[in-house]
Amino acid sequence: MFDSENLPTINSGRICLRRLTAGDVDSLFSIFSDPEVMRYWSSTPLEDTKAAEKLLADIDDGFQKRVLFQWGIARRADDCVIGTCTLYHIDTDNRRGEIGYALGSEHWGRGYMREALTLLIDFCFGRLKLHRLEADVDPKNNSSIKILERLGFRKEGFLRERWLVGGEVHDSLIYGLLASDWLGNLEARQNEIR
């Protein structure tokens, strides 16, 4: 499905999706140890930088096996990693995958994730030729739901008590986006950016 040796670097106006390296461990720790960011995540906040090093090793390993594409979202101005976005649960036979994303809380409300996910989705439907993308969101995670709906994802299902994280039970909303939805909306998206 993807035979290049490295995770590609993808640029847009303010941000760059790039491979995460050892120099990004502190940024990863800062993002994934923040209880606000991890409120609706599928695991509890990282406790120390060792856990962030392990996260980075898992990201590298997942890419080597081509089961996980997780980019750092770096600001082009200073190359600082402010979040990550991910394609995983890839099913090549059915040409589908799931997306995940997180942004450091101090960077919320500036459209960075929307910019990042636009690049990610273009890559998935363009370069990888996927047919369908999915996202699994906590029904209480309003900002995540907002971004998915703005990108054209449709609400397709509600799964009860799908997650048990840190002693709490969470439901899931399943959102889906088809390549045809995305390509059909191209003109509307371009008009919004102008």
Ligand X SMILES: CC(C)(COP(=O)(O)OP(=O)(O)OC[C@H]1O[C@@H](n2cnc3c(N)ncnc32)[C@H](O)[C@@H]1OP(=O)(O)O)[C@@H](O)C(=O)NCCC(=O)NCCS
Q: Can you give the binding site for ligand X, defined by CB under 6 A?
A: 37, 40, 101-103, 108-114, 137, 141, 143-144, 146-147
Distances (CA, A) of 21 to 28, 32, 59, 73, 78: 10, 16, 10, 12, 15
| Smallest distance, ligand X to C-beta of residue 79, A | 19
| Smallest distance, ligand X to C-beta of residue 127, A | 22
Which residues, in sequence order, are CB contacts of 152 under 8 Å at separation 6+? 177, 181, 182, 185
CA dihedral for 83, 88, 94, 95, sign (positive or negative): positive
Over its C-alpha atoms, the chain yields an Rg (Å, rounded) of: 16
| Smallest distance, ligand X to C-beta of residue 85, A | 9
**CB nearer ligand X, residue 129 or residue 150:** 150
| Smallest distance, ligand X to C-beta of residue 44, A | 13
**CB nearer ligand X, residue 26 or residue 64:** 26
Query: Are 108 and 146 within 8 A, CB to CB?
Result: no
Q: What are phi and psi of 92, to 5 degrees?
A: -70, -35
CB closest to ligand X, residue no: 111
**CB nearer ligand X, residue 90 or residue 103:** 103
**CB nearer ligand X, residue 141 or residue 185:** 141
